[in-house]
Structure 1
Amino acid sequence: MSNQRKNTNPAFSLASGAFAGAVEGFATYPIEYTKTVAQFATRAGDKPPHPISIVRDTVRQHGIGGLYSGCGALVTGNALKAGVRFLSYDHFKSMLRDENGKLSGPRSLLAGLGAGMTEAVFAVTPSETIKTKLIDDAKREKPRYPPGLVGGSLAIIRDEGIAGIYRGLVPVMLRQGANSAVRFGTYSTLRNLVVDSSNPTQPLPGSVTFGIGAIAGIVTVYATMPLDVVKTRMQSLNARAEYRNTFDCLGKVVRREGVFALWRGATPRLARLVLSGGIVFTVYEKCMYVLEKTVGSA
């Protein structure tokens, strides 16, 4: 992911990003599940459930598998969105480099913004809407949808049409654009501080890549958490009856629960994005290096 890397093979970006996204999605899904459940605690004045309580109650009622409710949708979507994200980010980077092949910090942010918007439309919104609805449905005494990815997705589409899996598109685009801009901008800036300027294509040690990615994850969480909360509420089963649009949802959350409700679920999301940033950038870098050294040289 060096800002000096030129002419990145689009197929390598797509394959490496998809593999990194799948690995990261499965490894961190229980944390994502915990965050989503915490964000459904909506009554004003109520203290959100502690992540440990959510895990304990879920395992007691549904077993370990309960922590993976909706997992198939997220892992599949994560692979797709990471592939699209890295493919589009590398494309936008190539467009925004200066005449010396360098990418400044502001231009890296702009490339990340474009990548986030692209992945929101083509991958993130459908997969996260399905995931959120399946998690919300699984908490009911008599769930409406089958728990699996295929059965659950078909049932949601049958009930609400294609528009049903694009619920919350606007907050997702805002969140993903902000996420990718902050994450890629932070990662690229930190990477440029530690990379060997005499050999910018040389891969960094995995521990360094993981650490830089983790820091980028921390910055991303606190900068974009309100967008994530609104996105989750807009994708709930009762969203159509509860909220007119994204801004109506934002206003109701603040009026009913206070401004700090916009950071509800920050702890589990922080845990997930710290791991996510470390895992996805490390796996991506290693995959790109292997592909360029083997397939690229064949």
Structure 2
Amino acid sequence: MVSGEGAEKTPLVSLIAGGTAGGVEATITYPFEFAKTRVQLHDDSPSKNPFRVIKAVIEKEGPRSLYKGCETLVAGTILKDAIRFISFDSIKSAFKDPETGTLSPLRNLLAGISAGVVASTFAVTPTERIKTALIDDARHDKRFTSPWHATKTLVAEHGLVKAMYRGYVTTTLKQASTTAVRLGTYNILKDFERLRDIPQTTATTFGNGAVAGTIVVFVTQPFDTLKTRAQSVRGAGVKEAFTSIIADYGVKGLWRGSTMRLGRTVLAGGILFTTYEWVAALIQPVLDKKLLPARSE
């Protein structure tokens, strides 16, 4: 049972629970992210099975290569999900119906879009740029020895803003749409269940997260593919990234890597929301006790 479901989450709870959930989810599912990124970066592998891609990488480059760029993604995901959940929960609280405590589907989506833009600006774009550059570099040049070395090298070559915010438009489009669909769908399902007195168990939470993850993949995959191309080592503008994908694979290339992303995102959605609700239920009473004396003064 996920306890504390009806309690209003404070900003600090959203921040801690969101960051913790993001770190756990990113660490567990990173090999799927690695495989997806490889396929999107001109990888000629005919297989769409993420397990086969992962097996081939292990055989050619060793098991450690599957976690190339993982530190950057985990750090970025902790920051991203901390910002994303605190933004979404704060906006959701302002938008909700005072009588039912729920949001309309449109307001859910608007809250998600707003949270996605904030997360992309302050966390996602820089960390995704370094992660993608590390994975791309590992295929050919092998210039970068660590995330920090990659950051210093790219900044020295292109300047801080151009190096770290390469692909900002495509990343923000992806984050805004992903956050709107994922958090919006999850919250719509929760509101539907709450109004019908459906118990919020761990299984329910995991299932809601998995459903939200599945919808996210097929709706937002073109933005993800464009983002990956734009953030490769060489880099590309939105137009160049789009035309190169169409030239290489046709329109269906915009959904390249969707199978691999689906495997990760369905699992990630379940892990993310389950961990978030668990951590929130665990720390909310503790923080309430500590803050209660201050509130009563």
Q: TM-score, normalised by structure 2?
A: 0.89
- What corresponds to 2:92 in structure 1? 93
**Partner Cα distance (2:48, 2:179) in 1:** 29
- How much does 1:41 deviate? 2.2
- 2:158 corresponds to 1:160: yes
- What corresponds to 2:264 in structure 1? 272
- How much does 1:144 deviate? 1.1
SS class of match (1:295): helix
- What corresponds to 2:9 in structure 1? 8
- How much does 1:186 deviate? 1.1
- How much does 1:281 deviate? 0.4
Q: Give the number of equivalent residue pairs.
A: 286
SS class of match (2:289): coil
Worse-superposed segment, 230-239 or 46-55: 46-55
The one-letter code sitting in structure 2 at the alignment partner of 1:211 is: G
- How much does 1:32 deviate? 0.2
- What corresponds to 1:32 in structure 2? 33
- What corresponds to 1:129 in structure 2? 129
- What corresponds to 2:255 in structure 1? 263
- How much does 1:6 deviate? 6.9
Residue 285 (structure 2) aligned to one of 289, 293, 296: 293
Percentage of pairs with the same residue:
38
**Partner Cα distance (1:134, 1:268) in 2:** 19
Q: TM-score, normalised by structure 1?
A: 0.89
- What is the CA deviation profile of residues 122-143 of structure 1, one whole-angstrom value per residue up to 9, with x for unaligned ones? 1110111000000000111x41
SS class of match (2:287): coil
The one-letter code sitting in structure 2 at the alignment partner of 1:98 is: D
- How much does 1:155 deviate? 2.5
On the 8 A contact 2:48/2:257 being kept in 1, the answer is no
- How much does 1:59 deviate? 1.1
- What corresponds to 1:54 in structure 2? 53
- How much does 1:64 deviate? 1.1
On the 8 A contact 2:34/2:135 being kept in 1, the answer is yes
Large movers: runs of 4+ above 6 Å: none
The one-letter code sitting in structure 1 at the alignment partner of 2:55 is: R
CA 1:102–1:54 in 2, change beyond 3 Å: closer, same or farther? closer
CA 1:248–1:212 in 2, change beyond 3 Å: closer, same or farther? same
**Partner Cα distance (1:7, 1:186) in 2:** 19
- What is the CA deviation profile of residues 17-56 of structure 1, one whole-angstrom value per residue up to 9, with x for unaligned ones? 000000001000000000000111267xx84665344222
SS class of match (1:297): helix
Aligned pairs for 1:58-207 within 5 A: 58-100=57-99, 101-140=101-140, 142-146=141-145, 148-162=146-160, 163-195=162-194, 204-207=200-203
**Partner Cα distance (2:26, 2:284) in 1:** 24
The one-letter code sitting in structure 2 at the alignment partner of 1:154 is: K
CA 1:108–1:6 in 2, change beyond 3 Å: closer, same or farther? farther
- What is the CA deviation profile of residues 140-171 of structure 1, one whole-angstrom value per residue up to 9, with x for unaligned ones? 1x41111x222332222222222212110001
- What corresponds to 1:226 in structure 2? 222
**Partner Cα distance (1:152, 1:285) in 2:** 35
CA 1:25–1:42 in 2, change beyond 3 Å: closer, same or farther? closer
On the 8 A contact 2:102/2:191 being kept in 1, the answer is no
- How much does 1:206 deviate? 1.1
- What corresponds to 1:249 in structure 2? 241
- What is the CA deviation profile of residues 99-127 of structure 1, one whole-angstrom value per residue up to 9, with x for unaligned ones? 42431111011101111111011111011
**Partner Cα distance (1:97, 1:5) in 2:** 14
**Partner Cα distance (1:5, 1:92) in 2:** 17
CA 1:60–1:88 in 2, change beyond 3 Å: closer, same or farther? same
- What is the CA deviation profile of residues 60-101 of structure 1, one whole-angstrom value per residue up to 9, with x for unaligned ones? 233211100000000000000000000100111122123424
SS class of match (2:103): coil
Which structure 1 segments of 5+ residues have no match? none
On the 8 A contact 1:16/1:288 being kept in 2, the answer is yes
